Amino acid sequence: MRKLITAFFAMMVTVVAPSSAMAAGGHGAVLDEVHMNMNDKASLQNGAKLFVNYCLSCHSAAYSRYNRVAEDLDIPLALLKENMMFATDKEGDLMKSTMPEDDAREWFGIAPPDLTLVARVRKPNWLYTYLRGFYQDESSPSGWNNSLFENVAMPHVLYELQGVQRLVGKVEAAEAHAGDAHAAVTDGTNPITIVGDVKFELEHPGKLSPHEFDVAMTDLTAFLTYLAEPAQLQRKKIGVFTLAFLVILMGLSYLLKKEYWRDVH
């Protein structure tokens, strides 16, 4: 019986505990850890707003519908129609980009990928680091590059929020992950931002401070994580009740076993 109990609790730990995020990506890149709260509806709503305003014009989320997002995130339909949908869209429509693929290939060299499952393919830590790793690069066709995805075709669509970063160089392992906001002030006036193991100087500030931008990218990452599995908001709640039921059932089964075997011993 002791072995059965040990195995049961080992299974519970495996199911409930989140898998530890890898410190490095597929090519050894250092990733920053994103701290998301998938029960924070305000964070998810802000992420949805950022996605619609800055991502949906090029990228689609073609496996998700507007009305499902509104229902899951407690967004009133009137607010959804006014702020999150194109004029020709309907509530039950899929979240598709209006950019023709042929034009996208001509402008960027490749059609922007659908983002519905990107959080499952790339993982949240990768997305969080990527979104914060854009910097100005005059040698790039778009004028931008990314510390995590070298020579990426995507321009920095969020530059008005983050500002314009200049690449300074790599940092030592001890400096990486040195703080939640990853920001300090140099001897001059420009803030230094550390993303993963890369240091940037913020030459032209955006509408948000470095910390505020990190929070906004946390919200956007959380929304992309939601898009990849909308049922997770309900699944995790159901999972807690299921595990609690199994614990109670195990206790009752053990008491029943003792009752049956009492006369045998």
- Within-domain flag for 219: yes
- Within-domain flag for 196: yes
Q: What is the CATH number of the domain that holds 187?
A: 1.10.760
φ/ψ bin of 163: left (φ > 0), alpha (ψ from -120 to 50), beta (otherwise)? left
Q: Is residue 6 located within the same domain as residue 55?
A: no
- Within-domain flag for 120: no
- Within-domain flag for 172: yes
Q: How many residues are there in the chain? A: 265
- The amino acid present at 111, given as its one-letter code, is A
Query: What's residue 185's pLDDT?
Result: 53
Q: Is residue 210 located within the same domain as residue 241?
A: no
Separation of alpha carbons 228 and 119, rounded Å: 6
Query: What's residue 23's pLDDT?
Result: 39
- Within-domain flag for 9: yes
Q: Is residue 252 located within the same domain as residue 144?
A: no
Question: With the C-alpha atoms ordered 220, 221, 226, 227, is the resulting torsion angle positive or negative?
Answer: positive
Q: Is residue 139 located within the same domain as residue 19?
A: no
Q: Is residue 139 located within the same domain as residue 249?
A: no
- Within-domain flag for 119: no
Query: What's residue 2's pLDDT?
Result: 53
Q: Is residue 41 located within the same domain as residue 8?
A: no
- Within-domain flag for 121: no
Domains held by the chain: number? 2
Contacts of 180 by beta carbon, 8 Å cutoff, 6+ apart: 35, 211, 214
Nearest CA to 76 among 91, 55, 93? 91
pLDDT in tens, the chain (265 residues): 454 445 444 444 443 443 333 334 445 688 999 999 999 999 999 999 999 999 998 899 999 999 999 999 999 988 888 888 876 778 889 998 878 887 777 777 788 899 999 999 999 999 999 999 999 999 988 899 999 999 998 999 999 999 999 999 988 766 666 544 455 555 557 888 899 999 999 999 999 999 999 999 999 999 999 999 998 877 878 888 899 999 999 999 988 888 888 877 5
Q: Is residue 104 located within the same domain as residue 8?
A: no
Note down the domain range covering 14.
1-24+233-265
Q: Is residue 163 located within the same domain as residue 258?
A: no
